[in-house]
Amino acid sequence: MPRKVGLALSAGAARGLAHIGVLQVFREHGIPVDVIAGTSAGAIVGSLYAAGTDLDTLANFAQELNWNKLVNITVPHLGLVSSEPMYQLMRLFTRDQAFENLSIPTAVVATDIQTGEGVVIKSGRIADGVRASFSIPGIFVPVELGGRLLVDGALVNRVPADVCRELGADIVIAVDVGLPPVGKKVKNLAHVILRTIEILDRENAKYRPIQADVVIKPELYNVTSTQLNRAAEIIEAGRAAAEAQLDEVISALRGVQQQAN
C-alpha cells in the first residue's frame, strides 16, 4: 500500500507566503501531498491548495495584496480589526467548499481562547475554519465556531506536524517559516500585540520540537510578519529552500516506500 505524505505548514503571517513557493517546487518535481495541516498563514495557503487553487494564480494575487484589502478597522471590544474581507476572499477562492469535500484531507489548527486548548478543525466550511486559525488575538475579532471562541492556532501549535500524523500521514514534511527578526522598532498597539505573541512563540518553540521527517526552513531573516509588499521575495525564498532540500525530501520519500515493501 502506498505510504501517505503529509505537509505541515507553519504560522507566520506575511512570511507564510513562502509556503506558496515550496508547493510550486513540489508540483514541478512531482512530490506528492496526501494530507495537509496548517496553522494561521499555513492554514490559508494549505486550504487554498487543497481546494484546487492554481499556485501561480495565488502567487500573482499575493503580490497585489496589502493590508487595506484584507482587514476593516472595527470598534468591537474583542479586536482592533475585522477579518471580514479576508474571510470573503477565502470563501471566493475555496468556492465555499467544506473540508469534507476536499480531495486532499486537510485540517487547520485554532486555539480556544477560553480554555487554552488547541482545536483541530477538519469539517465544516473551509473559510470558517481558516478564519479561526488566523485570528491573531487582540488584533482580529475571535471567531465563534462549534460552541467555542477561537483565535490563532499559533498560540498552541505553530507547525502542526503532529496533526498530519493524526490524518494518517506516514511521512511528514514540515515548512517552518520561523519567527521575525528581533529588535525591530515597535510603532503601535498592533506591533505590541504581534511582538508579544512572537516572544511567546519563540519560547514555546524551545520546548515543542517539530515532529517531522524533514523540516524546510526558508531564509527570511529580515522579513517581518507584516511585509506583504515583499510577497515576491518571500515566495522566492520558499522556492529556494525547497530546491535546496529537495534531495532530502526525495530520500525520505524513498525510505518510507522501502519500508512499505
Catalytic residues: 40, 152
Q: Give the DSSP letter of residue 163.
A: H
Which grid cell sits at 104? 486532499
Please give the Cα distance from 242 to 45 (Å, whole number). 16
Query: Do residues 65 and 228 make contact, with C-beta atoms less than 8 angstroms apart?
Result: yes
Report the largest interatomic distance among the alpha carbons of the chain, rounded to a whole angstrom: 59
User: Which of 205, 207, 212 is closest to 175 using CA atoms?
Assistant: 212
Query: Do residues 36 and 7 make contact, with C-beta atoms less than 8 angstroms apart?
Result: yes
Amino acid type, 100:
E
